[in-house]
Amino acid sequence: MNPRPDQQSDERFMRLAIREASRALGRTAPNPAVGAVIVKNGRILAKGYHHAAGLPHAEIDALRKLTPAQSLGATIYVTLEPCSSHGRTPPCTSALIASGITRVVYGSTDPDKRHRGRASRILKKKRLKVTEGILSEECAALNAHWNHRAVSGMPWIVAKAGMSLDGRIDSPPHRRWITSATSRKEAMHLRSAVEAILVGGGTVRTDDPSLTIRGIKLPKDHPQPWRVVWTRAGKIPKKSKLLTDSHRNRTLIFRGITLRKVLQELGKRGISSVLIEGGGQTLGEAFRGELVDEIRFFIAPVIQGGKVPVLGDRSISPALLNDVTCQKIGSDLMISAKVRKIPTSASRTSRP
C-alpha cells in the first residue's frame, strides 16, 4: 500500500528533523539527541536541535528563531515525544502551547513509562493536533542506548577486547600490541561512541592506561568519556594517568562492590553506554553476571600462548549472539554482535 500524500510529507520533514538530531549525537548526555523542524504551508521556517544538557531542547531551539506571528498556525516535527515535566529546563509542551503552533508531529515515544504518551494528552487537551509514530524506528535508533537505560535503569554494555587467535590478551614477547594499528584506530571510534570506558583495577596497575580518544578527528566539544575503574580491594597508584592527567575529573573509582552495582550506579548518574575494555577478569565478571549487551572482539592472526585469557579463568554464563558481523580490519578480524542472554535455573551475580 502506498503512503498517503500527507504521510509522505510528514516523513520528508521528519527525516530533516532526524538530520538535525544527528548533529548532536554523543554530546547531549545524560539527555537524548533530539531534532526539530517547523513548517508552515509546506515551507520550512526553522530548524533546531538539543545541543547539550542544560541548553534549550530542540523544540525551543527552533522556536527561538521565529517571531510569534511566524509560528502561529505552523507544524513542528520532533524526533522524540516532547518533554512534559520540569527538569533543568521548563517542559516543552508548555512552550508549544504558548507558541501558537497548531500541530505537533513526533517520531518515537518517550520510553519512560512515567512520561510515555503524556505529551500527547496535554497537547490534545489544548486542542493541538498530534500525530505520533512518524519514522518511529529511525527516530528511536538515534537514542538506542538512552532508551535502554530509561527502560532498564542500566547502561548499554559493550565488551571490547583485542586478542590473539588462541584467545589471549596479554602482550606477546617483544611486542606492545596484539592487534594492528588499524584495529586500534577503530577502537578509538568505538570509545568516541560511548559515555564511559570501564577497566579493572589490575589493568590500571599493570598497564597505566589513559583511556582517552586519540588519533581520530572529532568536534572540539566532543566530551571525553568517563573513565571508570572497578577494583575489588586493591589501591590505584596515585601517579596513574587516570588520576593525574587533564581529564582526571572524568575518572570514577568503585571499590569493593559488585560489577552489577557499579553499572547500576553509572545508570543512576545518567550514563547510558559503557565500553568494558578489560582486563580478562573484569570481562569475565561481565559475562558471568550476564551484563553484556554487545561485543566487539578484535582477533589478530597470531597464536601466542599467553597467560591471560580474554574472559578470565573461571566459568561464565552461556550466551548466544545475534546480528553477527565479521569484518577485516587491517590484518585482524573484528567480530561485532548483540548478546542474547540464555535464562539459567540459578541466577549468577558478580562478586566484589
**Mind telling me the catalytic residues?**
59
Q: Count Cβ atoms below 10 Å from residue 177 Cβ, excluding itself.
A: 12
Provide the angle, in degrees to the nearest 10, between the axes of the packed helices 92-99 and 118-125. Answer: 30
The enclosing H or E element of 58 equals: helix 58-63
Q: Where are the alpha helices (DSSP H) in 200-279?
A: 201-207, 241-244, 259-268
Euclidean distance between CA atoms 225 and 46, whole angstroms: 32
Q: Is the Cβ–Cβ distance between 190 and 158 less than 8 Å? A: yes
DSSP class of residue 227?
A: E
- CA–CA distance, 120 with 116 (Å, rounded to integer): 9
Distance separating alpha carbons of residues 148 and 141, to the nearest angstrom: 11
- Number of helices (H) and strands (E), helices first, in the chain? 12, 13
Q: State how beta strands 196-200 and 156-163 pair.
A: unpaired
| DSSP secondary structure letters along 282-320 | HHHHHHHTT---EEEEEE-S-----S-BTT-SS----EE
Amino acid of residue 75: T
